[in-house]
Amino acid sequence: MAFWFFLSLLLSQNAPTGILKTSELKPGMKGYGLTVFSGETPVKFDVEVISVMKRAMLDQDLILVRCSHPILEHAGVIAGMSGSPIYINGKFAGGLGYGYAFAKDPIAMLTPAEDIVNTTRRPVQNLDVWGRPVTQSADAWTQRVRNSIVAANNPLIRSQGESMIRPLGVSLAVSGVSSAQFAELFPLLSHLGPAAPSGAGTDDGVARKYQPGGPVAIWLVSGDINVAAIGTVTYVEGDRVAVFSHPFLSMGEMRLPAGHATIHTVIARASNSMKLGTFTSPKGSLIKDEQATVVLDQAAEPGFLPVTVSVVAPGEKSKTYNFKVARHRLLSANLSASLVRVAMNRLAQNATDLTFTVDHEFQMEGIAPIRFSDSFSSTQGLNLSFPSAWGNWGNTSRGEIALQLLLNNPFTRLALSRVNVKVHVTTGLNQYQIKKVDVASPVVLTDREFSVQLTLKPQMGPEIRKQVTMKLPKEFAGTRVTLEVTAGRDTPIDAAEPKDLPGLLDYIQKSMDAHTLVLSVHTPAPQLDMEGVLVSDVPLSVLDSLVRRGISQYTKVDQTLFRTMIRFPELLSGGAKCNLIVKSTVEEAE
């Protein structure tokens, strides 16, 4: 009994206590750090202070140190060591956070202890996983939709530039996808750190505690594919746990699943050595992602978003993949899009002529399920690009863009409860570009059908001609109009910009797929979008008056007087125009 008392007393005397401020640090001071190179037990490595770099970050110093350990002398400072706590003179001095690209020596930079502790203790807002209350007005719609809210605002895809100083980075533990495919299929995550297959992480049921120097994982995807970011615990205070000692996604307050990890080994590489690790058991949630550190709350329960992807392909058995995805308005839609492409590439890998349909269904809390169906044809197999801006479809599913748009709409925050995607693949090509539109005579009669000839160019082979018929109402008599024939995906929505969430839901579901041929009749008279209401038949004199009076913010819209849609078995793209003179009788036409 006395032995254990004196042993505990000895350990408590040697345990680090207190914080060593940067003002107390001097070049040459020595200490040690804690990290895991294999397994789950932290080991020591030596450190020596080189210098304190004042205000190296905005309102934050960095501490330049040299690390020493046989593994570090061989591999350099390692991705996954982010957050390794450093102790000098028996006090917490900082966390290993930054390094140099292609460095030959194990030199790194610490985030100071006072910044880590202050960030850890600072309270957070009472927010759910889908983000903060909306602060911008509905007037932000135009910029956010037309310029792509994801491309403009998502911190994940901002370039880190060419600076030599960079966060040490996490080690990305991946299962179900190769390292070579990861950067292509998960473009929003690939810059976070090196990725390597390390086996599927499963909850082994073993009770663990977060400890300084121990491995930690932030879970992004689990299920048939696993993606977790592996780093190191820096500091523990109650339920709060500081990790990484640098930003993760630079998104501030958020809720991402966290847990323990185990390290298999260290992979030494010329560019960026890394820890090879695997998730072991869940524990708490990431609640804060800031410049100084990332903070976990052991008591928080972040939950997951269920995502299901089913693929039916020629010569393959139908396969359904089940995933759980981190819930966040800037992450969930992008991760879901990545998983669709993972499933498609897994079951239909041939780079050949294929036609495929992608059916999206997603459920927002309090809203009826939203569905989109899009078909594509490609000479390079299952070629599906990642979402861009609304209306700029390219080779992207409208469902994916709509999901991003709704999660980041300027009216209210929405909670996403599930995503289901079904992909059906067939062999061969079925895509045709609209090259030309003709009518037998430029003069047409109202209330009588007339033929419209289409010239279509397939992806391979000679042009073909198709004929459709349409009829104009008598109100068109005596006018000159433009007939525009377009593919549904290339046809602008003929509606005012939404001013509220119901208007947005109605707006996005007016978009059309590539099987739809749209025949639109336009007139030269403009149409104005005035506070969400389309005003038609605006005389040019009135328009001129509005512009002269400085009311130029009203959006001028081409006036569509008549529109009809025809379903085609072929997939269409592009469009063409011709001019018509409309008469009411044969005598007038002659």
Mean pLDDT of 346-361: 83
Residue 441 CA: distances (Å) to CA of 279, 448, 562:
71, 13, 20
Give the residue, 310 or 148, on which the prediction is more confident: 310
313-326 pLDDT tens trace: 887 788 999 999 99
443-459 pLDDT tens trace: 999 999 999 999 999 99
The least confident of 136-140, 435-439, 509-513 is 136-140
247-290 pLDDT tens trace: 999 888 999 999 999 999 998 887 788 889 888 889 999 999 99
Residue 513 CA from chain centroid, whole number: 23
Task: Tell me what pLDDT residue 403 has.
Answer: 93
pLDDT of 438 > 80? The answer is yes
Per-residue confidence band for 155, with pLDDT thresholds at 50, 70 and 90: very low
At residue 204, what are phi and psi to the nearest 5 degrees?
Answer: -85, 0
Q: H-helix or E-strand containing 5?
A: helix 2-14
468-483 pLDDT tens trace: 999 998 888 888 888 9
Per-residue confidence band for 552, with pLDDT thresholds at 50, 70 and 90: very low
Sign of CA dihedral 381, 332, 498, 146: negative
Residue 575 CA from chain centroid, whole number: 31
The CATH number that domain 18-132+164-303 falls under is 2.40.10.10
Task: Tell me what pLDDT residue 57 has.
Answer: 83
What counts of helices (H) and strands (E) characterise the chain? 11, 29
Average pLDDT, the chain: 83
Gap between the Cα atoms of 261 and 204, Å rounded: 11
375-563-506 Cα angle (round to 5): 65
Beta bridge partners of 67: 47
Per-residue confidence band for 197, with pLDDT thresholds at 50, 70 and 90: confident
Gap between the Cα atoms of 48 and 193, Å rounded: 26
Gap between the Cα atoms of 339 and 188, Å rounded: 12
Per-residue confidence band for 586, with pLDDT thresholds at 50, 70 and 90: confident
Task: Tell me what pLDDT residue 362 has.
Answer: 95
8-state DSSP, 476 = G
Give the residue, 390 or 425, on which the prediction is more confident: 425
Fold for the domain defined by 305-427: Ubiquitin-like (UB roll) (3.10.20)
How would DSSP label each residue in 158-176?
S--TT-SEEE---EEEEES
Write down the domain spans for the chain. 18-132+164-303, 305-427, 431-589
CB 565 within 8 A of CB 518: yes
402-416 pLDDT tens trace: 999 999 998 988 999
Percent of the chain's residues with pLDDT above 90 = 53
| Sequence letter at residue 391 | G
Task: Tell me what pLDDT residue 40 has.
Answer: 94
13-41 pLDDT tens trace: 456 778 999 999 999 999 999 999 999 99
Task: Tell me what pLDDT residue 15 has.
Answer: 60
Residue 195 CA: distances (Å) to CA of 79, 82, 219:
10, 15, 14
Q: Which of 125, 132, 114, 97 is nearest to 294 (CA)?
A: 97
Per-residue confidence band for 419, with pLDDT thresholds at 50, 70 and 90: very high
Gap between the Cα atoms of 97 and 132, Å rounded: 28
